[in-house]
Chain A
Amino acid sequence: MSLNDQQIERYSRHIILEEVGGAGQEKLLNSKVLIVGAGGLGAPAALYLAAAGVGTIGLIDADNVDLTNLQRQVIHHTADVGTPKVQSAQNKIQQINPDVKVNTYKAWAKADNIAEIVRQYDFVIDGTDNFPAKFLVNDACVFEKVPLSHAGILRFDGQLITILPGESACYRCIFNSPPPANAVPSCSQAGVLGVLAGVVGSLQATEAIKHFLGLGDLLTNTLLTYNALNMQFRKVSLNKNPNCPICGDSPTITELIDEEQQVCNIKDCKC
Chain B
Amino acid sequence: MTNEPILNIPITVTEDVSKFRSEVQKFLDGDTTPIAFRAYRVPMGIYEQREEGKYMVRIRIGAGLVKPYQLQRISQLSKKYGNGILHVTTRQDIQIHEVAIENTADVLESLLEVGLSARGGGGNTVRNVSACPRAGVCPNEKFDVSPHAVAVAEYLLQARSSFRLPRKFKIAFSGCSNDCALASVTDLGFFAHIKDGQKGFAVYAAGGLGSNPAIAIKLEDFIVEEKIFEMAETLKQVFDAHGDRSNKHKARLRYVVARLGKEKFIQIYKDIRAQISKDGLKGDIPQIRDMGTASPSTDTPTTDTETLNITGEKDGEHVTVKLRLHLGDITADNLAEVAQIAEKYSTSPVRTTQNQDILITTVLNKDADKITADLKTLTDDVIGRGPKLVACTGAATCKLGLCLSRSLADAISEKLAETATADDHRSTTIRISGCPNSCGQHNIAPIGFQGRAKRVNGKLMPCYDVLVGGKTEEANATLAKNVGTVPAKKIPKLIVSILTDENRSQSRITELVKRCGDFTLDEYPEDFYKDFGSDEPFSLAGRGPGECGAGVTDVIKFDIQQAKDLLKKAAAASKEPEKSDTLYNAILSASRALLIVFGAQPKKDRQVFDLFKEHLIIPGWLTAKTADLLEDALDWRLGDKETLTDLFPQIENTVSRIEELFLSLDANLKFRAKPAEEKQATDVAETKPTTSDLRGVQCPLNFVKAKIALEMIDIGQTLEVLLDAGEPARNVPASFADQGQEVIKVEQVQDHYAVYVKRIK
Contacts and interface: CB of A to CB of B under 8 A. Distances in A.
Contact of A117 (B261, B478, B705): B261
A113 interface: yes
B740 interface: yes
Interface string A13-45: 001101001110000000000000000000000
Interface string B692-721: 000000001101110110011000000000
Interface in B462-490: 469, 478, 481
A258 interface: no
Interface in B317-366: none
B478 A255 contact: yes
Contact of B711 (A23, A117, A120, A254): A23
Contacts of A23: 711
Contacts of B507: 250-252
Contact of A251 (B478, B510, B705, B739): B510
B257 interface: yes
Interface in B208-258: 257-258
Interface string A129-156: 0000000000000000000000000000
Interface string B262-288: 100000000000000000000000000
Interface in A220-260: 249-252, 254-255
A3 interface: yes
B738 A18 contact: yes
Contacts of A15: 704, 707-708
Contact of A250 (B478, B511, B712): B511
A113 B261 CA distance: 9
A1 interface: yes
Contact of A12 (B261, B469, B701): B701
A250 B705 CA distance: 53
B712 A8 contact: no
Contacts of B506: 252, 254
Nearest to A9: B701
Contacts of B739: 18
A15 B704 CA distance: 6
A251 B511 CA distance: 10
A9 to B, nearest CB: 6
Nearest to B736: A18
A254 B514 contact: no
A211 interface: no
B735 interface: yes
A116 interface: yes
A16 B735 CA distance: 9
B52 to A, nearest CB: 41
B397 to A, nearest CB: 33
Nearest to A254: B481
The binding surface of chain B is classed by DSSP as: helix
Contacts of A12: 700-701, 704
B258 A22 contact: no
A255 B514 CA distance: 20
A77 interface: no
Interface residues of B, number: 25
A119 interface: yes
A3 B708 contact: yes
A9 B261 CA distance: 35
B508 to A, nearest CB: 8
A21 B711 contact: yes
Contacts, number: 55
Contacts of B703: 16
A116 B708 contact: no
A142 to B, nearest CB: 12
Given A249-B510, A249-B511, A251-B507, A16 B708 contact: no
Contacts of B258: 116, 119-120
Contacts of B469: 254
A252 B700 CA distance: 56
B740 A18 contact: yes
B234 to A, nearest CB: 22
Interface in B10-43: none
A21 B262 contact: no
Contacts of A252: 506-507
A25 to B, nearest CB: 9
A254 B506 CA distance: 10
Contact of A8 (B261, B478, B704): B704
Contacts of A117: 261
Contacts of A3: 708
Interface in B722-752: 735, 738-740
B481 A21 contact: no
Given A23-B711, A254-B481, A116 B701 contact: no
B673 to A, nearest CB: 15
Contact of B510 (A16, A119, A250): A250
A15 B712 CA distance: 14
Contacts of B478: 254-255
B476 to A, nearest CB: 11
Contact of A22 (B257, B262, B711, B740): B711
Contacts of A250: 507, 510-511
A15 B257 CA distance: 37
A3 B704 CA distance: 12
Contact of B261 (A18, A21, A116, A255): A116
B262 A113 contact: yes
Nearest to A5: B705
Contacts of A18: 738-740
Given A9-B701, A120-B258, A249 B708 contact: no
A18 B700 CA distance: 14
B701 A8 contact: yes
A208 to B, nearest CB: 21
A16 B707 contact: yes
A167 B469 CA distance: 24
Nearest to A119: B258
Contact of B708 (A22, A113, A120): A22
B124 to A, nearest CB: 25
A3 B257 CA distance: 32
A67 to B, nearest CB: 30
Nearest to A3: B708
Given A16-B700, A21-B707, 10 more contacts: A9-B704, A12-B704, A16-B703, A16-B735, A22-B707, A23-B711, A117-B261, A249-B511, A250-B510, A250-B511
29 contacts: A1-B708, A1-B712, A3-B708, A8-B704, A8-B705, A9-B701, A9-B704, A12-B704, A15-B708, A16-B703, A16-B704, A16-B735, A18-B738, A18-B739, A22-B708, A113-B262, A116-B257, A116-B258, A117-B261, A119-B258, A120-B258, A249-B510, A249-B511, A250-B510, A251-B481, A251-B507, A251-B510, A252-B507, A254-B469
Interface of A: 1, 3, 8-9, 12, 15-16, 18, 21-23, 113, 116-117, 119-120, 249-252, 254-255
Shortest 5 CB-CB contacts between residues of A and residues of B: A250-B507, A22-B708, A18-B739, A12-B704, A15-B704
